[in-house]
Amino acid sequence: MPKRRLVNRLNDLSNRDWLLFQKSWFVHNPPRRSEDVLLHPAKFPETLCAEFIGFFTKQGETVLDPMMGTGSALVAALEMGRNAIGVELMPKYAEIAEERLQKMGTPYYFPAEKAARGPLSQPENSMVSPFFAVICDDARNLAVHGIGEVDYILTSPPYWDMLRMKGFETQKERAEKGFDVHYSDDERDVGNIDDYQRFLEELVSIYRVAAEYLRPKRYLTIIVKNVKKGGTIYPLAWDLGRRVGEFLTLKDERIWCQDNQRLAPYGMGNAWVSNTMHHYCLQFRKG
């Protein structure tokens, strides 16, 4: 019998590139951030977004980031010929994202104020030219924006309230340069919740809403770390795997490693404290 031809229904990759992506760990050192996005205290690297978007979508499909920050996932999606929809609570970050996307020369876009007025409608010829939508709102309000179904969700949450911790990483250096050292002072911002269980519940509620717009058999990727606070590790990645796994199927994880960060002598001579240089990239599928 003739061999049945393999039909790739998920992406546009070659068999070799498909296999390479299936490796359970990878090293990715993001390039230096540009000036227009340095304001955001925890930017998502476009180069990393591109790898995941390239595996989980085909050209012409639609990517959603419900917590988009300055729009890294959207930039990567447009560069790869995908439609891009992003939601951001803070107006200043939504404005930066929209400016970045407009500069790409995308012929069809939805300004934030249009998205807020009513349902999005796919523009004519959008299958040829990808479109983007920037929505400045709480992601739990997605229902009022009528975004329709999406083919992939790629996102990274705040790592609890760690940006508000005294001495957290490069806070002093950022403050001296006039950059933001935390996301916002908005009470709706989950990065301002100091109780871990409440933070987890609110974060899961956002992903539950976003998952309603995901097409069946398509994927949601959450890129996240476990969190160290007050001498205790809080298993944020593992808790999200368990909780989001209640309404989507947790299919796998990829470990993103960075090997270009400076080592710090935490606990030296006294106690074990690691230099955390990896993130968990959790893949969920809608049944």
- Determine, yes or no, domain membership for 6: no
Beta bridge partners of 254: 281
Band of residue 86 on the pLDDT scale cut at 50, 70, 90 = very high
Q: What percent of the chain has pLDDT over 90?
A: 57
Side-chain half-sphere exposure of 168, counting CA atoms within 13 A = 18
User: What is the rounded average pLDDT for all residues in the chain?
Assistant: 84
Give the mean pLDDT of 251-262. Answer: 93
- Determine, yes or no, domain membership for 239: yes
- Determine, yes or no, domain membership for 273: yes
How many angstroms separate the CA atoms of 10 and 140, rounded? 28
How many angstroms separate the CA atoms of 109 and 140, rounded? 22
How many angstroms separate the CA atoms of 262 and 140, rounded? 37
Give the mean pLDDT of 28-52. Answer: 73
Task: Tell me how many domains the chain contains.
Answer: 1
- Determine, yes or no, domain membership for 24: no
pLDDT tens-digit readout, 114-139: 555 455 655 554 445 688 999 999 99
Helix (H, G, I), strand (E, B) or coil at 24: coil
- Determine, yes or no, domain membership for 4: no
Domain coverage including residue 153: 33-285
Phi/psi of residue 261, nearest 5 degrees:
-95, 150
- Tell me which DSSP letter residue 142 carries: G
- Determine, yes or no, domain membership for 1: no
How many angstroms separate the CA atoms of 236 and 176, rounded? 30
Domain at 138, CATH number: 3.40.50.150
- Determine, yes or no, domain membership for 19: no
Query: Quick check: 181 pLDDT over 60?
Result: no
- Determine, yes or no, domain membership for 25: no
- Tell me which DSSP letter residue 141 carries: G
Phi/psi of residue 178, nearest 5 degrees:
85, 15
